[in-house]
């Protein structure tokens, strides 16, 4: 913390003297945010951290070390007032206090917090809510303990859907206005108890009704036979989705990991784990021949009857991946979950189809945590991602103004991919208070100094509030990244 010569060694061990005043002569730095390291200089601080209390802006700071003339501490969250107060002593010794003559300039910044959920010691928290239609306050909700995919409702921006993989009960809805969690669709009742993967929304191309349909991808290999890949669910008249919502099979093949609607022309793109195939389905043709509000399976759309077409394969077999289409529709990222890399596929305006993809970030089958560009970067089970507009790109007048934020599951962090192919870590793997060799944890706070996750999978972004929501799978929580003091 500080250096001293032989003449200073004796002074370095002088204890606190309650008969003498405590003074503050200076501090550094003069400005910063939560978890900023701070040195406070003065007299009569003593050498026992147990006797030292520091508040900044009325908030308690974590004191790391103390010597007679200097205190080492961390700036606490919400220290907006900026007053620095040092109190030394206890009931036995008596107290002495001092206030710095200058205020600390506290700067708000993005921090990680917990929105809802908890994890008990055994890690077997019950699913609450566990029944369809029951709304539970954020303060009482538990579960959140399976790989998941998150998606906002385009018609109701306060509604965030979470669709769970193998172990979850189905599709949940978080209502940000009411601050409740509700199970809206049961996996067993609505989707033949198949493995749920992703959600998207589709407009009605003929009536123009926006986000009338929910698109749900499901994943199961029925002994190598054709199985339901994608469902289309019709929104109820009151705007909700539930077990009574009409639903149909939209596409049937094998082991679908994800399905996405093109934001410009409404085409459906979905994949198969079988041989890394990507398929395209013309939604206009579907609506010309089907009635998606009819509950049942009047049509069994398959590859054989020409309902959809294969456009390319990314590898031979066993590639688990999701398709994330850029808001402009000009390209898509293919996040290969189990082989640790990201492909890019560009949209061909002439053929009206995505072209064969190429490696954009990471190296196939080489897991790791490396910040870098393109094939030099390393990831470890990248999961869901979302496109986020970068204000700096907008100000610079760039053609592509979006970064791609994604959960790096086994690296226990949230990272982002720039349009140039640079991978950087945004939040997680905090080291300032780490006491073991693990990079995972449940700490809230500064995004890089303190914050830690436990195997995050789902991510969603609210552009209006500049807030990220992350499904912290093994932490059994929904975490939130936002500006301090905002919800």
The enclosing domain of 86 has a CATH number of 2.60.40.10
Q: Do 360 and 331 form a contact (C-beta atoms < 8 A)?
A: no
Res 1: pLDDT: 41
CA distance 122 to 476: 12
Domain match, 100 and 189 both: no
For residues 23 and 44, the answer to whether their CB atoms sit within 8 Å is yes
Contact assessment for residue 448 and residue 429, using Cβ atoms and an 8 Å cutoff: yes
Assigned token pair, 387: 């496109």
Confidence (pLDDT) at 166: 82
Q: Do 252 and 271 reside in the same domain of the chain?
A: yes
User: 297 and 374: one domain?
Assistant: yes
Mean pLDDT over residues 21-36, rounded? 94
Mean pLDDT over the full length of the chain: 91
Last residue of a domain, one of 75, 106, 137: 106
Domain assignment present for residue 96? The answer is yes
Q: Are residues 289 and 165 in the same domain?
A: yes
Tell me what pLDDT residue 306 has. 66
384, with CB counted inside 10 A (0-12, 13-18, 19+), is buried
What tens digit of pLDDT does each residue of 235-256 get? 999 999 999 999 988 888 889 9
**Per-residue model confidence (pLDDT) at position 4:** 41
Cβ atoms 203, 209 nearer than 8 A: yes
Domain tally, the chain = 2
Q: Does one domain contain both 89 and 134?
A: no
Closest CA to 326 of 396, 264, 409: 264
Report angle CA 225, 229, 233 to the nearest 5 degrees. 140
Note the pLDDT of residue 2: 44
pLDDT tens string 362-371: 999 999 999 9
State the pLDDT at residue 411: 97
Q: In which domain, by residue range, is 17 found?
A: 6-106
DSSP codes, 346-378: EEETTTTEEPPPEEEEE-TT----B-EEGGG-B
Model pTM score: 0.86
Q: Report, as an integer, the average pLDDT of 84-107.
A: 95
Which two three-digit tokens encode residue 280?
């395209």
Q: What pLDDT was estimated at residue 284?
A: 83
pLDDT score, position 5: 46
**What radius of gyration, in Å, describes the C-alpha atoms of the chain?**
27
Q: What is the three-class DSSP state of 416?
A: strand
């Amino acid at each position: 913390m500080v250096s001293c010569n032989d003449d200073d060694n004796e002074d370095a061990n002088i204890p606190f003297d309650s008969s003498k005043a405590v003074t503050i002569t200076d501090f550094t730095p003069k400005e910063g945010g939560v978890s900023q390291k701070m040195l406070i200089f003065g007299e009569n601080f003593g050498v026992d951290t147990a006797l030292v209390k520091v508040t900044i802006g009325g908030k308690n700071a974590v004191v790391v070390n103390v010597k007679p003339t200097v205190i080492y501490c961390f700036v606490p969250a919400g220290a907006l007032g900026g007053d620095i107060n040092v109190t030394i002593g206890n009931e036995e010794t008596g107290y002495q206090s001092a206030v710095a003559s200058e205020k600390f300039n506290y700067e708000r910044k993005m921090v990680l917090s917990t929105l809802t959920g908890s994890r008990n010691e055994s890690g077997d928290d019950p699913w609450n809510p566990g029944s369809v239609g029951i709304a539970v306050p954020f303060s009482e909700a538990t579960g959140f303990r399976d790989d998941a995919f998150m998606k906002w409702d385009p018609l109701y921006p306060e509604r965030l859907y979470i669709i769970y993989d193998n172990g979850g009960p189905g599709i949940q809805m978080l209502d940000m206005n009411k601050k409740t969690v509700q199970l809206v669709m049961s996996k067993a009742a609505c989707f033949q108890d198949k493995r749920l993967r992703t959600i998207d929304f589709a407009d009605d191309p003929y009536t123009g009704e926006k986000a009338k349909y929910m698109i749900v991808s499901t994943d199961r290999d029925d002994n190598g036979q054709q199985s339901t890949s994608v469902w289309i669910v019709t929104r109820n008249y009151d705007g909700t989705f539930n077990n009574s919502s009409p639903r149909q099979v939209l596409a049937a093949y094998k082991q679908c990991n994800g399905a996405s609607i093109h934001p410009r022309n409404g085409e459906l793109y979905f994949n198969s784990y079988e041989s890394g195939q990507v398929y395209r389905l013309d939604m206009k043709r579907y609506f010309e021949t089907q009635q998606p509000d009819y509950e049942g399976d009047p049509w069994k759309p398959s590859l054989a009857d020409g309902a959809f077409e294969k456009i390319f394969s990314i590898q031979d077999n066993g590639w688990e991946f999701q398709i994330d289409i850029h808001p402009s529709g000009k390209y898509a990222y293919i996040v290969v979950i189990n082989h640790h890399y990201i492909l890019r596929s560009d949209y061909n305006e002439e053929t009206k189809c995505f072209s064969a993809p190429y490696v954009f970030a990471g190296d196939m089958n080489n897991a790791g945590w490396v910040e870098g560009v393109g094939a030099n970067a390393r990831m470890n089970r990248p999961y869901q991602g979302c496109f986020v507009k970068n204000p700096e790109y907008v100000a610079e007048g760039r053609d592509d103004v979006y970064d791609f934020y994604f959960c790096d599951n086994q690296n226990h962090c949230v990272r982002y991919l720039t349009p140039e192919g640079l991978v950087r870590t945004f939040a997680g793997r905090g080291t300032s208070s780490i006491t073991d060799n693990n990079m995972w944890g449940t700490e809230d706070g500064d995004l890089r100094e303190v914050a830690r996750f436990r195997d995050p999978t789902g991510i969603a972004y609210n552009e209006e509030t500049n807030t990220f929501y992350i499904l912290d799978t093994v932490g059994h929580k929904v975490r939130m990244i936002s500006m301090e003091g905002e919800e």
